[in-house]
Structures are given as C-alpha cells and as structure tokens.
Structure 1
Amino acid sequence: MKQAEIETFLMIVKTKNITKTAENLFLSQPTVSHRLKCLEEELNVKLLTRKKGYKQIELTAQGEEFVPIAERWLSLWQEMQQLQHGREKLYLSIGCTDTMNTTILFELYRNLLNAPASDINMKITTHYSYEIYGLLENHEIDLGFVYHHLHFKNIVAEPLLKEKMYIVQSGDTKLKKGRIHTDELDPAEEIFVSWEANYQIWHDQWVGKGMRPRVQVDTFELLLHLISDARRWFIAPVSVVERIRDLRDVQVSEIANKTQPPERITYKIRHKYPNESTQKAVQLFEEKMMDYLKTKNWGLII
C-alpha cells in the first residue's frame, strides 16, 4: 500500500464524493479513481459502492472495517517520517475555540514558553468546535478543546470544565447590582454569544423571546471592544468574565432569573487511534494543563 492511496481513501470516506475528493487533494478524478482501484486490487476487496442516481458513495462492509486500519497505517507512516528526520523535541498540535485560547489557555501557553527548558514545540490553531472534530479525526491536530459534544466514531470526548454564567456590563452602567434579572436589561443592547446549544435554548426563552439579537459575535476580541459602551451588556462564563475584568472596567452580576442558564461545559477531545509519536507530548501537556487549571476557580471537572 502507498501513502497516497491511503490518504485518498480516507478523504473519500470524509467527503463521500469522488469529485470533492479530487478538489480537496488537487487531483484529477481519474487519478482518484486509479488510486482507489489500486488499493482495492492490493487488498482484494471492494471498499466502496456507488448507487445509480446518487452522487454520494457508500462504504462496503469491508470498507467500514478498513477505515480504522487505514488511519493506523497513516499514523505509522507519519511516525516513520518523523523518525527519518531525526526529531528530538516533542511536537504537539492543538485545536481550540477562540475563547478557550484567549481566556483559559493563553496563560498556560505563556508559562510553557517561559519555562527554562521547554520540551514541547506547539502549534496552536483557533477554530469552531465542529471544525476541531474534523481536524482531529483526520489527524491534523493531536488534541482539541470544544464546547459542543458531537458524536464522531473515532473521537473520545471528556468534560474538562463546567462554568457558571454571569451578566457583564460596562463599568459606566447605571445598573450596578449584585444580582440582575435579564428583564431589567435592554435586549437591544445585548452583545450575544451563542456559547452552546443548550444556552441558546435558554437565551431564546428568557432573553431573546424569539427575536434575533441586534448583534452577535464569536470572538473575545469583539466582546472586549464592544462592552466599552455604557449601554452594552452580555452573558458569559466565569473564565471569560475574569479575563475581560483584567482588561477593562466592567460590572459583573449574578443572574437572578428563576431558571439559570446552563453552565458552559468545555470538552477535551482526542482520537481513539492517536499518533504514537505525539503521545508523550500530549501526556506532558495534559499534566501541566491540569496543574494550571487547579489554580483557577473555573469549575474544573476531575
């Protein structure tokens, strides 16, 4: 088996379409078909089937069984490449959401960089939760942190943090109270962040009441700048609240609604069949991360 054939097969599994596979790999469709044919001939099994009238392809039973084998084969090939290049340091690729990077892990990253003899070379990228699952499934990252628990066959998700939500207003607000009901706030002045699906449901019932927010953002940077206006407010988990309070004068209040918003859960996700070459780096990072999180009051789940 060749590496190109395995990568092509796994891309077909992901896209379920020969045309999209060719586009993603910058190949011609005949090349994709040829690679698949060579792989099937070497294995002496039919991996895929295409029904007439349907653009999407389907895996055969043997194809389903071959997917984890192909992933392990590709992982071993990548490890051999690393061995050939004589890598001595540990390499780790991490995928996170924006607020996970900017409000929770940024200090840990800084500590690791400032360590006298850091053993880990890190590649840190920012994505939406659903994108992180896809990157991890394709072994493009080694470890992920997300706010949505999605069901992927080859991914294990573990709850890491469970954070309480608070109301945040500009420090110039006239409504300075320790506890505030959302009915006391002007929904037209809310800076809305859809933290996760259950929070969205709560918000639609208690705040939005079926109306679309006037402004919705998806980055910490925008929250930081927009909250400068005395009329503005938003709801956020404790880690975001603490970080923004370090950078700007804000009024933080507990939520007085009878039904509280669901706490935001952060999940650590990893692949069922991880690259052996990165396991030491993952373990070392997780140990340092847990030591770091234990110093914070963010609702660590142990």
Structure 2
Amino acid sequence: MEKDILETFVTLANVQNISKTAQVLYISQAAVSHRLKKLEEHIGEELIIRNKGAKHTHLTAAGARFLPLAQNWLRLDQDLENFQHRPQTLELTIGTVNSVNNYLFSAFYNQLKTDPLDWRLHIRTLHSNEIYEQVRLHVLDIGFPLREQRVPHIRVRNIHSETLMVVSRHKIHDKTVLMPSDLDGRNQIYINWGADYVHWHSLYFPSYIMPKFSVDTAKIAFDLLDDTTWFFAPYSICLELRKREDCYVSGLAVQTPSRDMYMITDTQMEKMKRREIILFKWRIIHYIRRKETEFINMLHRFHMENQTEYVFEKDMRK
C-alpha cells in the first residue's frame, strides 16, 4: 500500500475537509479525491462520507475502524525510516544514588562522550529501594544501589566498597588522624550512610547529642560546612572534595563501616539488551577499578604527607 494514499486518508480524517487536506499536503483537491477512491477500492469499503455541497466530510464505520490501522502503519514506516538513517546507537537507562552520580560516576559519564560507540544514556537519581523496584519493572536496565536485597530474577553483584573519612574546613585539633572523641557531635553535619553506619555512629555519638544539621546529600553537607562543622563521608567523596574544593580531609583511627555499591540487572533484560549491558558493564567495572587505584594512591600520598599509618588498603575490594 502506498504511503501517500494512507497519509491523505489520515489527514482527511483529521481535518474533515477535502480542500484543507489538499492545502496541508500541497496537492490538488482532485488528487485527494483520486487517492481516497483508490484506497476505498483497495480496501473494498467506503471510508469517507462526502455529501455534495457539504464542507465537511465524515468517517464511515469502516473508516473509523481503519483509521488506527493507517496511523499505526505510518508510525511504523517512520520508525523504519529513522532506523535506516540513524547511526547505530547503544541506549541504556541506569539508576544510581545521588552521591554516586555526583562524585564517583561523573568522570565516567564524561568518558562516554569520547567512546568509539555512540552511547545514549538515560541517568536517573533514585534511592536504593527504588532502584531495585525499577530494575524489577524493567524501567531501568542497570541499577547501582547501596544495599543488597534478594529479589527474584535480579542479579546482584558487589562492585565497590569503601570506608569513611572526615571532611572539615580546617585541621581539627591539629591532627590528621582522628579518634571519634576528637569530634564534637554538636558540630556534626549528619548524613545517613546506611544501617551499618547508623549502628557504628551510635557507639560513639549518643542520641542525646543532636547534630548541627541532618542532611541527605554530601553536596548539601559541603554547602553548610564552615569553620566549626564537619561530616563523615566515604573516601571517594572526601578525596573528590579535596581535589575540587577548599576543605581538609582527616583519617580515622578506628575501623569504620564500609559503604558497598552493588550492580543489579534483571535476567530477562540481560537477554533483551545483551550487547548493550555487556559492553556497559565492562566499561563501568574497568572505570571503577581505575578509580580505586587512584583512590589508593591518593590515600598513600595523604598519609605520607601527614606521616601517618596507611590503614585503608585492606578495605578495598579487588
């Protein structure tokens, strides 16, 4: 079936006037009538009611039934044309938490700009439980939550783990490595880094000591940072802030809980987008391993500069 005939029928069904249809399509009224007659002969049904002297046309019952078929055919034809002329792209939708987007993955996104493959990435910032749900519903192709859950048909892999450091404007008590007792809980900008962190935090900071602020992102915490306040953060965030901003990063002399990041995919989606997911996983894992090496080197330099013992490498997951 010819595309121009279907376009004429759909246009006429919308504007309900042969003269206006001719104007829209830049053809004569006779051409409109000829195309419509040809379509009706092909279908074997009268599709349009056109009374002499009447300005408007109307769909017959058969025309009303045929209209969505014609519209779908034209959409499919357009999709095929777009597919033929568009360069091959790799399209994925991923979901991560705020801190990962802002501090760990930001350089990775920039790397994809110069990747030999044409990536089209949809990035969503969500909470961990939302990431699991949207992967389960096939809204996300790949998710990066900060907690492990058992969900049917969801593949979960721990891909990164890191401990905590302290961010402040200036050195606290002239020390580079701190005990929790060196920190005034009343000046803390509190960020909830997960259940293990909440338990660990309660061991050193009683609940009756109220923090100065309680926030949900490191970005807000840093915006609130002044000469007296401080906050805990995973060392990827701390060291990125140390590079970008005017702040001081201190180590901790006690073991801290680790912040684990997981990569999750739905097993059915892995089959549907096998090539895209495999190539993306390879890139993100290699990027994270390079970042971990960079973090280790920065931590080594940090402790060498401050003549303190390096105690963090055992917490890295190779």
Tell me which interval the TM-score lies in, with the shorter structure as reference length: 0.5 to 0.7
Match of 1:106 in 2: 106
Equivalent of 1:266 in 250, 261, 265: 261
Match of residue 53 from structure 1: none
Whether contact under 8 Å (1:170, 1:251) holds in the other structure is yes
- Alpha-carbon distance between aligned partners in 1 of 2:316 and 2:277, rounded to the nearest angstrom: 19
Distance of 1:121 and 1:207 partners within structure 2: 45
1:148 aligns with 2:140: no
Give yes or no for the alignment of 1:247 onto 2:244: yes
Over the matched positions of the two proteins, sequence identity in percent amounts to 26
Q: Give the Å deviation of 1:212.
A: 4.9
In structure 2, the residue corresponding to 1:274 is in which secondary structure?
helix
Deviations 1:154-173 (A, max 9, x none): 212111111021112113x4
Which residue pairs with 2:291 in the alignment? Answer: 296
Aligned twin of 2:125: 126
Equivalent-residue separation in structure 1 for 2:238 and 2:132 (angstroms): 26
- In structure 2, what is the equivalent of residue 160 of structure 1? 159
Letter of the structure 1 residue corresponding to residue 137 of structure 2: N
Counterparts of 1:14-93 in structure 2 under 5 Å? 86=83, 88-93=88-93
Match in the other structure for 1:94 = 94
Structure 1 Cα separation of the partners of residues 159 and 172 of structure 2 = 36
Unmatched runs of 5 consecutive residues or more in structure 2: 1-75, 296-314
1:210 is displaced (CA, Å) by 5.6
Rounded to whole Å, the distance in 1 between the matches of 2:142 and 2:211 is 33
* 1:238 corresponding residue in structure 2: 235
Among 277, 285, 296, which residue is 1:282 paired with?
Answer: 277
What is the CA–CA distance in structure 2 between the aligned matches of 1:103 and 1:158, rounded to whole Å?
Answer: 21
Amino acid at match of 1:264: R
CA distance in 2, matches of 1:151, 1:184: 39
For the residue of structure 2 that corresponds to 1:268, the secondary structure is: strand
Counterpart position of 1:222: 220
CA RMSD of aligned residues (A): 2.2
Deviations 1:61-100 (A, max 9, x none): xxxxxxxxxxxxxxxxxxx9xx967373111101000011
1:191 lines up with 2:195 in the alignment = no
The structure with higher relative contact order (CA 8 Å, sep 6+) is 1
Q: 1:208 to 1:279 in 2, by over 3 A?
A: farther
Instruction: State how far apart, in whole Å, the 2-side matches of 1:210 and 1:167 are.
Output: 21
Rate the CA distance shift 1:133–1:174 in 2: closer, same or farther, 3 A: closer
Contact 1:120 1:281 in 2 (8 A): no
Contact conserved, 2:159 with 2:285, CA < 8 A, in 1?
no
Amino acid at match of 1:295: R
1:26-78 Cα deviation digits (max 9, x unpaired): xxxxxxxxxxxxxxxxxxxxxxxxxxxxxxxxxxxxxxxxxxxxxxxxxxxxx
Does structure 1 conserve the Cα–Cα contact (< 8 Å) formed by 2:186 and 2:209?
no
Q: C-alpha distance in 1, partners of 2:220/2:193?
A: 15
Distance 1:137 1:210, change over 3 A: farther
Distance, in Å, in 1 between the alignment partners of 2:181 and 2:172 is 15
Which runs of 5 or more residues in structure 1 are unaligned?
A: 1-79
Of the structure 1 ranges 196-205 and 244-253, higher mean CA displacement relative to structure 2 is found in 244-253
Could you list the structure 1 runs, at least 4 aligned residues long, displaced by more than 3 angstroms after superposition.
83-88, 208-214, 298-302
